[in-house]
Amino acid sequence: MKLSIIGSGYVGLVTGACFAEVGHHVMCVDNNPKKIAMLVAGEIPIYEPGLEELVTRNMASKRLMFTTSIKEGVDHGEVIFIAVPTPPQADGSVDLSYIEAVAREIAGVLQEYRVIVDKSTVPVKTGEKVAETIRRYNKTASSFDVVSNPEFLREGCAVADLMKPDRIVIGSNNDRAIALMKKIYEPFMAPILVTDINSAELIKHAANSFLALKISYINAVAAICEASGADVEKVADGIGADKRIGRNFLNAGIGYGGSCFPKDIAAFISISRQLGVPFTLLEEVERINASALERFLAKAREALWVLRDKKIAVWGLTFKPDTDDIRCSVAMDLVVELLREGAHVTVYDPKGMDKAKELGTIAGASFATFPLQAAEDAEALIIATEWKEFANVDLLALKKIMHTPLVFDGRNSLHPDVVREAGFTYYSVGRV
């Protein structure tokens, strides 16, 4: 099939590359000429495992193309996916100006039947607004259908998630549109759930909110474990062994972050308020998440007494491993707070340092080229992102170069007994 993806960020680019991989002819559109020029030149603007190979292979086979022209995209694709940003506003609601702008641009060049698909995470009833906007600004009265097809991609394993999805959600009441969507996803061999468009839009926000709730729940349990001398890892194993609950997302730490969870939880709270049914449980999820980092920092303050002028190494800047994404990263928030309190901070991250330097919010920190360099002569080491290389560190080499063998593990990456046997004073989350 001929498909177009408007927006070539994390979701759009991965979706386009994977659709091309299964045989579709995909045109990715973006209004950033620099980004499109990079992609045409074979350069990938984001880090995502497996993505570069997919893009290179499918560009060579002529199944994946890039352009800045909305008209080219609309003319090319039988189905047009909208995958543009939906950033949060100050009150937690979603900024839909990018969606509205794309809908207007599509309307301006639409000549024949197309299926317009909301791939971006949007509030319920957005599909109705997209359809209304296209009808309003389309001068040729062309026929079209709007479909909701939320993405469930996890950064760091987005290619695998799209190639082997748990489920595919298609929100539409039109048989023609549903048939085209099913044809697109036929090669993926995954369960397809067909719903009305409003239900499909709610599924994404509800799913992410539930996962965030699990994270905040285990972080609340971690605080009780620390107060009682219990081990949150063992508690989580016991909880997760229940098939009704499952072990995933029951990992205690310094809180969730990233481009999805904080934004989606805030949006769902805002949506519920607008609908007159406040979702107060999610407000508590937000509060617990914010308190996780503060409780962790309190341990560092207590152990170090004063943070000012202390030399502290931080391993990890991205919000999770296997990505270069630092958006709403708790690790970045941690570094910002350490700098604010006057600490001398040296950071290392396998993939996120270039973007951290560009952002500039931790300009006061020093950037190391490898983990042990960051820890050299440090009075404390903080593990803020659970990269595998941090879990596999040579503890004896680390101890030799640190001024004080003091480790604060914000992601429970290391085994307490092993670290302490190596001569470290060790603090983690929910484990004594």
Instruction: Give the torsion through C-alpha atoms of 250, 251, 255, 256, to 10 deg.
Output: -70
DSSP one-letter code for 94 = B
Gap between the Cα atoms of 203 and 223, Å rounded: 31
CB 230 within 8 A of CB 238: no
Gap between the Cα atoms of 58 and 20, Å rounded: 6
Instruction: Give the torsion through C-alpha atoms of 212, 218, 223, 228, to 10 deg.
Output: 170
Distances (CA, A) of 189 to 118, 164, 184, 195, 369: 22, 8, 11, 19, 43
Gap between the Cα atoms of 346 and 361, Å rounded: 14
Letter for the amino acid at 230?
A
Gap between the Cα atoms of 300 and 160, Å rounded: 37
CB 240 within 8 A of CB 252: no
Given the residues 18, 28, 225, 260, the one annotated as active site:
260
Please confirm, yes or no, whether 28 is among the known catalytic residues.
no
Catalytic amino acids? 260
